[in-house]
Structure 1
């Protein structure tokens, strides 16, 4: 049996509820207690002031999203667009105590439960984003019950994503559909200018809710217009106005999103993206000396709806970049246990692969990212485009895989450098891996390529993966990224 006791403070319209029950129920009532404490002390959370700022989603992100949408069966997914909605708060209850010998007792309608939150967690269990749906909604809070019972809290939604996932704020999908495929998407967002719990700029999210005091009422037996003409009810509205104001300010303080997005580059505890709405007050909170039988309660406050982009950037030490059929996949199969597809045609590698190699007796590992081939014009979305280059952005070094059976290996190096662009090569160590060193005229081409590489202060190593002649390749990779220093 639940035991409860009402005690009236200096705000008779709000009654504190003391429960001897489980901590899960008490926690929701403690939130009401914190709001009550603010009202008792005349405190209202500070307001967030915002300015309008330009916000950009890069063309490479949008292009990858469009390409993945056009595929019927995805074997690998590194970009997705998701709509998220936190739960609404449960409505307050209109109820009166019933007992033997009493037709109508005091009001005992409980408060609605808070809506569920949306959380996200980086997990090593997943390698891409294909397990995610397009829409997630947290559960709404349950309505309050009779006998002063608080409604149950709505269940949270926890999204598990691979380590290395980055999350961006996005406008609704309807705004993105009409964007030209060869340009960035720009829009305006509200950015907090007076404070932020995030480093750098912070986007102020918006949720729909009723007006302070006058909105969000549930009436029984009498129409709304009649109640708002009642002076006893309007005095309650004045007090509820401050209660709603505190809730609205608290919502603005949590409805924030970092301008640069969330970067989940290490496994960790869940991060709360969206907070559910607060439950509405039951009629037990509105009894006063002049209004003994309130037949009204408050609706729960709404949750918040946001669209986000997720982009997976694999965590690797060094990334392999080369032209199609340059021998990257054969090299990976030779030096590791990874088994990417190998063939005599372009684009045998259609998705990024990660290979892990032990490079020392103490268990030190080298992680290598093998991405699909780059061709001339890739920066203009020819071939596989440049979308998969996101998987080498976190790498300390880049290994350009150059085949010695090509007519001019130096020209191939310059083609790759041109397609990658200076910004992707900045602050990264470069290694040239000269593959297919067993073909005719390979020695002459290697010497010419070596001279070119040394002039740029890079390192170079020859190999023939087909003949298992890859000695020194792994050590050179480890030296390039400083693993064995």
Structure 2
């Protein structure tokens, strides 16, 4: 006999037309019978389908900072898109500074947080029977458990750092159902407010990362922290944004909840007693399909973009990061023509616990890049309303500063970010490393500041270019080269050498003296031109 597919559009339409939605309260026997019967059809259609994103997940704005991945397998070879990627993309160097041989104090500025989040567990369904003066036991009236609380994200204008972000957020559990068909209250949701410009990534448990690094460094004492994180891979199961696409876009998360067909609560008689009864075995087969549908919904919601959720603008609508567990069914749903006294109910589904890395990337039009003592802070103070710390020692700037540059009443303005100085081998975590480079990744233009007092300012510029990712990465930005301290001896010859290099690459350049305030207005005009503001 030819096997007929139950996954055709026609049969799906028939099933939708004849399917029964579970009745929330006061279900009649016919309601329960219809709902349980419809579960058989649901099973035939839904099992083993490739996981697909929920509609809300498709609304996420994925981060643009991509990193190299290796695709190991894709459907139909595997159920998910299996990938491998360097561990460094799923942790924070700041949280691992104890292993950094070149670490340097970074002040109290907080632009990275690793946060443990847990959504609430669903409440258990109630086992209860109606009672009144005329009868000792009536029909089942056990209510459903309340859904667990969820965790939401929202970018707001009023915050400018991650200092107020806690290390742990736990949403409320749903409460158990009660007699008289009373559903348990839903668990309290958690809303995490973050500054505009925050990207939220899935990350590894910091304790596991520290333990792993410790073992690796014991095996290879000459290894650096960065080399361990870059050369060791993490395996992940991913899905794509669209069905049948093999390009991984989202990480699939998994909650530790009971398997389909399990999660029963019994009263009076044991689980073994019920599993020996044909009527319960038949019921459990149908309810297993309901469990499958819950698990399917969980898989659709339990995802996060591979490259993070980019909260780059203020929104009035929060984004659900972790969804709470579904409340369990009360025994009122299991009254049928065969089962008259259901002394059982369903447990609530578990919530989801994961670690996330909150990373603040300042949104400035231009970013200042230079060695320590190049005069970046002095320049920012001259051109804008910012008051950065200025000193005659290296690493005066320990955290990013952002200033607004006004072009006049009718000409608008632009913002400039000054980040801590970069030194040679910063990409190997010397000095302050490249941790603060995130604050100018979004910038439309990069302004390299070189000091004409040094012996070889052109070499300094070339080192800066190399440390921030090379010419290919720099070429993706609008570039302006500022030669500071142009009032010093031999500065003209040094400037001409730098200018010749810039002309070959098509980069604009200008000599200034920030300390004396010379050429500041032309600098502002060139900065505006760099980002196409006239």
Global fold match (TM > 0.5): yes
Greater strand fraction, Structure 1 or Structure 2: 1
**Are 2:252 and 1:204 aligned?**
yes
Alignment partner, residue 121 of structure 1: 154
1:190-209 Cα distance to aligned partner (Å, 9 max, x none): 12267289985322211112
C-alpha displacement of 1:167: 2.2
Matched, 1:50 2:99: no
CA contact (8 A) 2:90 2:203 kept: no
Equivalent residue, structure 1, for 2:272: 225
Q: Match for residue 293 of structure 1?
A: 341
Contact 1:13/1:236, CA 8 A, preserved across alignment: no
Distance in 2 between residues matched to 1:101 and 1:10, nearest whole Å:
26
The change in CA–CA distance for 1:83 and 1:71 in structure 2 (over 3 A counts) is: farther
Following superposition, the deviation at residue 102 of structure 1 comes to 2.3
Matches of 1:224 and 1:152, distance apart in 2? 27
Instruction: Give the aligned partner of residue 75 of structure 1.
Output: 108
Q: Which among 515, 525, 534 is matched to residue 475 of structure 1?
A: 525
Tell me the residue number matched to 2:163: 130
Q: Secondary structure at the match of 1:302?
A: coil
Closer/same/farther in 2, CA of residues 160 and 452 from structure 1, 3 Å limit: same
41 and 242 in structure 1: CA distance in 2 versus 1, 3 angstrom threshold:
closer
Instruction: Measure how far apart 1:317 and its partner are.
Output: 1.1
Give the superposition deviation at 1:278.
0.8
Match of 1:407 in 2: 455
Q: 5+ unaligned residues in a row in structure 1: which ranges? A: 16-35
RMSD of aligned C-alpha atoms?
2.8
CA apart distance, 1:310:
2.3
Identify if the C-alpha distance between structure 1 residues 122 and 321 changes in structure 2 by more than 3 Å, giving closer, same or farther: same
With 245-254 and 277-286 compared, the bigger mean Cα shift is at 245-254
CA–CA separation in structure 2 for the residues paired with 1:60 and 1:243: 35
Q: What secondary structure, in the 3-state scheme, does the structure 1 residue paired with 2:515 have?
A: helix
- State the match for 1:391 in structure 2: 439
Q: Counterpart of 1:6 in 2: which secondary structure?
A: coil
- 149-158 or 435-444, which deviates more: 435-444
Q: Is the alpha carbon distance of 1:353 and 1:38 closer, same or farther for their aligned partners in structure 2, counting shifts above 3 Å? A: farther
Distance 2:90 2:138 in 1: 65
What secondary structure does 1:369 align onto? Answer: strand
- Alignment partner for residue 501 of structure 2, among 449, 452, 463? 452
Q: What is the aligned partner in structure 2 of residue 240 from structure 1?
A: 287
Q: For residues 359 and 246 of structure 2, what CA distance do their matches in structure 1 show?
A: 20
SS at match of 1:66: helix
Distance, in Å, in 2 between the alignment partners of 1:94 and 1:381 is 60
User: How far apart are the structure 1 equivalents of 2:303 and 2:334?
Assistant: 32
The reply on whether 1:96 has 2:129 as its aligned counterpart is yes
The yes-or-no answer on 1:143 pairing with 2:187 is no
**How far, CA to CA, are the matches of 1:312 and 1:435 in structure 2?**
29
Query: Cα offset for 1:431?
Result: 0.8
Q: Tell me the equivalent position of 1:9.
A: 30
Distance 1:232 1:449, change over 3 A: closer
CA distance in 2, matches of 1:442, 1:457: 22
* Preserved contact between residue 405 and residue 414 of structure 2 (Cα < 8 Å): yes
Whole-Å separation in 1 of the counterparts to 2:285 and 2:90: 52
CA distance in 1, matches of 2:436, 2:511: 26
1:428-478 deviation line (CA, Å, top 9, x unaligned): 121111222333343443334333332332111222222233121111111
Mark the runs of 5 or more structure 2 residues left unpaired by the alignment. 1-23, 52-78, 217-224
Summarize the Cα distance change of 1:449–1:272 in structure 2 as closer, same or farther, 3 Å threshold.
same
Deviation at 1:115, TM superposition (A): 0.9
Q: Distance in 1 between matches of 2:98 and 2:314?
A: 26
Alignment partner, residue 477 of structure 2: 428
Aligned length: 461
- SS of residue paired to 2:280: helix
Change (3 A) 1:204 1:4: closer
Aligned to 2:376: 328
Q: Which secondary structure does the structure 1 equivalent of 2:136 belong to?
A: coil
Q: Describe the shift of the 1:165–1:39 C-alpha distance in structure 2 as closer, same or farther (beyond 3 A).
A: farther
Q: Give the deviation of 1:273 after TM superposition.
A: 1.8
CA contact (8 A) 2:27 2:332 kept: no
**Could you tell me how far apart the structure 1 residues matched to 2:344 and 2:425 are?**
67
C-alpha contact 1:14 1:286 (8 A) present in aligned 2: no
User: Do residues 64 (structure 1) and 97 (structure 2) align?
Assistant: no
Pick from 109, 113, 118 the counterpart of residue 85 of structure 1. Answer: 118
Number of the residue aligned with 2:226: 182
Q: TM-score, normalised by structure 1?
A: 0.87
